Amino acid sequence: MGRKLSTSELLITAGSAQVIDLLCWALLDRGDWVICEEPTFQGATGTMFNHGARFLTVPCDGEGMKVELLPERIERIRAAGEPIKFIYTIVNFHNPLGCDLSLQRRARLLEIARTYGILILEDDPYGWVRFEGEDIPSLFSMDDSGLVVFSSTFSKILAPGTRVAWCAGRDEIIRKMTVLKENVDTCTSVLAQAIVWEYCRLGYLDAFLPRIIDHYRKKRDGMETALKKHLSPDRVSWQKPGGGFFYWLTVPEIPAVQLLEKALEKKVAFVPGNAFYPTGSGGLNNFRMCFTFASTEMTDLGVRYIGEAIREFEQEPGHKKS
């Protein structure tokens, strides 16, 4: 997170999914706009959608959100007299893209948020799971205007079933979210919090983190090896993630949804890219693969089957090669 907090700036939540929900309760009226990356985590936009959000989306490249596109888009919505309530961004090892928002873009994003007075929700569940390179400062630590709500979770570094996460922001917004949380679930399970607290207090998390990072790094390397071995670079492209859980693949010639049908026949599953496009337009030739669960052997087999599914798809009558 990168800076010291007072308790009035901190709220413990039932997963970081609840941070998104509470911020929506605090800020959103039906029809309000939320700015987000496209693609983005469908669990977040699903929650925002439940609160009646409309999405102003910004495309990404290898350095995350193309923040330079923001001012023109914000001004267009503002000119129509419509409210933009917050910017949602996944800064480290993006879900589903696997990339980081670069330091330069973080600085520019804060500048834009300040210029237009728009709050940022910095969702960072994966930043702890870095395989190489240096940590990039959080938006929260770089901000001195109180415009950033930072969110993280024990889900990816301890266990998702703990349902213990936290968020930090200026006390006025945290107070509002705390009052709303009382109406939702009173408080985060005290038993779960006590277990996580003891685990951390006894130093187990500090000891576990390097091990889990190493474990996931090996799985990432296993998937990288399998991709290089079984998929032709003429047909599939990807960027090796430096941390987190995900690979994002591009198959320019093939609709990912149809590829999934073929892959499922071979008992291999992935998430087709369109699931991550809240406006419903995009990701048709992309899919996301998670490398953290399957063994390296199963990953190799699964990627081999995807390679076979691609070749079968290309051999079908009617498939046009460009």
Ligand X SMILES: Cc1ncc(COP(=O)(O)O)c(C=O)c1O
Query: What part of residues 165-194 is at the interface with ligand X (CB under 6 A)?
Result: 165
Which residues are within 8 A (CB) of 56 and not within 5 positions of it... i.e. 6 or more apart?
A: 33, 34, 35, 36, 73, 74, 77, 84
How many residues bind ligand X (CB under 6 A)? The answer is: 14
Q: Minimum distance from CB of 39 to ligand X (Å)? A: 11
Alpha helices in 202-295 (DSSP H): 204-230, 256-265
CB 221 within 8 A of CB 132: no
Residues 85-104 interacting with ligand X (rule: CB under 6 A): 90, 95
Among 12, 17, 112, 136, binds ligand X (CB under 6 A): 17
Q: Which residue is nearest to ligand X (CB)?
A: 15
Tell me the closest approach of the beta carbon of residue 123 to ligand X, in angstroms: 5
Per the document, the length of the chain is 322
Half-sphere exposure of 243 (CA within 13 A, CB side): 25
Which residues within the stretch 94-153 sit at the binding site for ligand X (CB under 6 A)? 95, 123, 125, 153
Determine if 16 is a binding residue for ligand X (CB under 6 A): yes
Question: Where do we find the tokens 């277990």?
Answer: 195
β-sheet with 286-290: strand ranges across: 237-238, 246-250, 286-290, 271-272
Least distance (Å) from ligand X to the CB of residue 46? 11
Tell which one of 23, 36, 41, 306 touches ligand X (CB under 6 A): 41
Here's the x/- map for ligand X, 259-278, by CB under 6 A: it reads as --------------------
Q: How far is the CB of 218 from ligand X (least distance, A)?
A: 21
The dihedral sign for the CA sequence 23, 26, 30, 36: negative
Among 1, 11, 12, 15, binds ligand X (CB under 6 A): 15
Q: Does 155 bind ligand X (CB under 6 A)?
A: yes
Contact 268, 310 (CB under 8 A): no
Positions in the binding site for ligand X (CB under 6 A): 15-17, 41, 43-44, 90, 95, 123, 125, 153, 155, 160, 165
